[in-house]
Amino acid sequence: MKDIKVKKKKVTHETFVCPEPGCGFEGETKQDVLKHYAREHCVEEVRKSVYHLTNFLRFASRARALEWVEISFGADARDAFVWEGPGWYYTNNWRCYPARRLMERMQERIERLENDRRKLAADLGLEI
């Protein structure tokens, strides 16, 4: 048997750690850690809706919500974020709005449809 001498090569492996105290999550890239932080620490709860495949997000604080918006959509999106206190929000493209606004828009649509239905019934002489 023959001994072969090999030079030692120093290999460094950089990992990134979640900044949340007590978390311990490690990622191979800074982006991995930011995604984890946004998903696990900024948002209190997520619910998916069949309405336009919208995600509803519950935020407890403005600071965490702004962190989520910045990580998810970039620093420019912070200016478009509308904070109305803790609660449910939804995303539309790169903006994040209070869920109450979506409910109001849906109610307006329902009222317009109801008015159109009444008008059509009157035009056709039908009772509803």
In terms of Cβ atoms closer than 10 Å to its own Cβ (0-12, 13-18, 19+), residue 3 is exposed
The single-letter DSSP state of residue 40 is: I
Mean pLDDT for all residues in the chain: 86
Least confident of 4-18, 30-44, 62-76: 4-18
Answer whether residue 94 shows pLDDT above 70: no
pTM of the model: 0.67
Answer whether residue 4 shows pLDDT above 80: no
Place of tokens 């035009």: 123
Q: What is the pLDDT of residue 2?
A: 63
- E strand or H helix that includes residue 99: helix 99-124
Q: How far is CA 112 from CA 39, 44, 78, in A?
A: 37, 35, 33
Predicted confidence (pLDDT) per residue in 99-118, tens digit: 888 888 889 999 999 999 99
